[in-house]
Amino acid sequence: MFFYWRKFRKNPLSCASLVIVLLLYCMAAFAPWLASYDPHKTDTQNWLNPPDGQNWFGTDRLGRDIFSRVVYGSRVSLTVGFISTALVILIGTMLGSLAGYYGGFWDTLIMRFTDVIMVFPTLFLIITLVSLFEPGLIYIILVIGFVGWTSVARLVRAEFISLREREFIQAVRVLGASDSRIIFRHLLPNAMGTIIVAATLSVPAAILAEAGLSFLGFGVPAPIPSWGNMLREAQGYMRQAWWYAAFPGFFIFLTVMAFNLLGEGLRDAMDP
């Protein structure tokens, strides 16, 4: 692990992205203390005020403080990114390891099912599934998790196919180790680098999916603040209130870029 860290810290962009990701999660965790105002509090006399000393990011069409709503919106985006990625990694690793280790019938069955899921455009498939349920954060997380596992499954399968023919796996098999012991004690630890990189690259995809759903009206229902539904509310005010869309859009860009650079740095550090 220390060897990986030494390689990782040589990349300044990746180190900066790690700091940004940690700061974003701290912002989400301490949102009640960082937010200047109640994100739901309206003030119709101060609607669409530009950024100033009282409202750092200005106010929206209902006079709500945009900075406070951006801070609380980070909770929604990062929660979706973290939990849905955990589901993606769990499902993808489980199916990919079964297909890669056993091969034959199980490989054909799992990979053909994966191909069927990948045929459908991801965003349209997510919109279709989300529209079947009531709008809510839990449904968005579950749908993104159960749709986005395909690339992880293919990566893990490829790693297992490569590793299962190595000499140390053959030696363990000759010694009489069970399949479960070989998978969990020998194959998974050696494939963990690929899985970690896939996880860091799955988080921004989940965040963008949630933002897109909220922007289209299929995501987190109002008045819960999320960066996606803030952009949706700002559509009609782009010319007269640039700050309305600029700040939530900037935080979406910053978060996605930070996770992508972090994933690239981890991939370079863990590449043998």
What the block records as the tokens of 30 is 């301490």
| Structural domain includes residue 35 | no
| Structural domain includes residue 54 | no
Phi-psi region of 97 (alpha: psi -120 to 50; beta: other; left: phi over 0): alpha
pLDDT tens per residue, range 62-112: 888 889 999 998 998 889 888 999 999 999 999 999 998 888 888 899 999
What the block records as the tokens of 78 is 């990062």
What's the one-letter identity of residue 150? T
| Structural domain includes residue 243 | yes
Check: CB of residue 119 under 8 Å from CB of residue 111.
Answer: no
We report the CATH number of the domain holding residue 238 as 1.10.3720.10
| Structural domain includes residue 241 | yes
DSSP 221: P
How far apart (Å, rounded) are the C-alpha atoms in residues 171 and 117?
A: 37
Residue range(s) defining the domain that contains residue 86: 11-30+65-270
pLDDT at residue 180, rounded to an integer: 83
| Structural domain includes residue 203 | yes
| pLDDT level of residue 243 (50, 70, 90 thresholds) | confident
Model pTM?
0.85
What the block records as the tokens of 241 is 């209130």
The domain total for the chain is 1
Average confidence score pLDDT of the chain = 85
| Structural domain includes residue 125 | yes
| Structural domain includes residue 176 | yes
pLDDT tens per residue, range 127-168: 777 777 776 788 888 888 888 888 899 999 998 888 888 888
| Structural domain includes residue 85 | yes
